[in-house]
């Protein structure tokens, strides 16, 4: 049951265990994502070393404007699986991710790369290709984490009403607040206790898993979750075939 679904954030309650939740989390890094993999720097008068500059550029989230193939296992890139980007700037100015020219869409075109003083110049060519997070973090499409759902048992209904009202957007199901009633909440214990009189409730760890997906913007959070599940399911089917 989805609790929150936005392009950049997804929160879902899964009736599963930590093992499966962790498998889905790991398979997020099996989703191909575009990132800059190589940089040729022709001129760099900035305060940053070439290596630092290249590292920062590699972490810029971006999407391709055309369909790309994944680079073959031999690592030799071709026009079908690689994009060329150019950047040329002269100070005084701040160089931003949006200053790149090429067949890509920068997710955030105002990400600062470097500051150039008067008469300082920066000129380079970059090469972007699809990759997976298991190879390098720059290919990761986002952040994924999970925890057990919180189970709230009402001990004092009158004292607990205000607290439950504050948590209404985080409850799996809204019920009448009465002594002995149990509520499932997607927030953690420390947060719940900070909202009111903790003597009015008892908090314990529930069996279900609350799964969180936060996208960097290359693909939506829901696509991240769906694609990770697809890859996991495909690999499980291949294992079943081998066993048979």
- Kindly list the structural domains of the chain, giving each domain's residue range(s) and its CATH number in brackets, ordered by start: 2-29+143-213 (no CATH), 34-132 (2.170.120.12)
Non-local (6+) Cβ contacts of 241 within 8 A are: none
Rounded Cα distance between 163 and 198, Å, is 9
User: How far, in Å, CA of 22 to CA of 17, rounded?
Assistant: 9
3-state SS, residue 183: strand
Render each residue's pLDDT in the chain as its tens digit; 244 residues. 445 667 889 999 999 889 999 999 999 999 999 999 999 999 999 999 999 999 999 999 999 988 887 877 666 777 778 999 999 999 999 999 999 999 999 999 999 999 999 999 999 999 999 999 988 999 999 999 999 999 999 999 999 999 999 999 899 988 899 999 999 999 999 999 998 788 899 999 999 999 999 999 999 999 999 999 998 888 877 777 666 6
Residues 6+ apart with CB under 8 A from 94: 112, 114, 115, 116
Residue 136 pLDDT: 92
| pLDDT given for residue 243 in this prediction | 61
3-state secondary structure of 210: strand
Strand (E) or helix (H) holding 233: helix 221-243
Please tell me the pTM assigned to this model.
0.82
Residue 197 is predicted with a pLDDT of: 82
Preceding peptide of 92 cis, ω within 30°: yes
DSSP state of 171: B
Contact 27, 232 (CB under 8 A): yes
């Amino acid at each position: 049951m989805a609790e929150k679904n936005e392009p950049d954030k997804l929160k879902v309650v899964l009736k599963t265990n930590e093992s499966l939740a962790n498998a889905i989390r790991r398979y997020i890094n099996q989703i191909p994502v575009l990132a800059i993999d190589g940089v040729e720097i022709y001129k760099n008068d900035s305060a940053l070393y070439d290596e630092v500059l290249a590292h920062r550029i590699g972490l810029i989230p971006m999407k391709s404007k055309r369909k790309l193939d994944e680079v073959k296992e031999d690592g030799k890139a071709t026009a079908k699986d690689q994009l060329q980007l150019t950047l040329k700037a002269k100070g005084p100015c701040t160089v931003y991710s949006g200053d790149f020219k090429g067949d890509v869409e920068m997710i955030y075109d105002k990400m600062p790369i470097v500051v150039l003083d008067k008469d300082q110049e920066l000129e380079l060519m970059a090469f972007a290709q699809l990759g997976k997070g298991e190879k390098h973090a720059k290919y990761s499409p986002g952040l994924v984490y999970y925890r057990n759902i919180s189970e709230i048992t009402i001990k004092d209904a009158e004292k607990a009403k205000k607290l439950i009202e504050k948590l209404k957007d985080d409850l799996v199901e809204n019920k009448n607040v009465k002594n002995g009633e149990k509520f499932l909440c997607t927030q953690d214990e420390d947060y719940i206790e900070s909202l009111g009189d903790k003597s009015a409730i008892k908090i314990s760890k529930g069996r279900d898993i609350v799964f969180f997906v936060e996208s960097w913007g290359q693909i939506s959070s829901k696509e991240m979750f769906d694609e990770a599940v697809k890859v996991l399911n495909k690999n499980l089917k291949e294992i079943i075939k081998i066993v048979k």
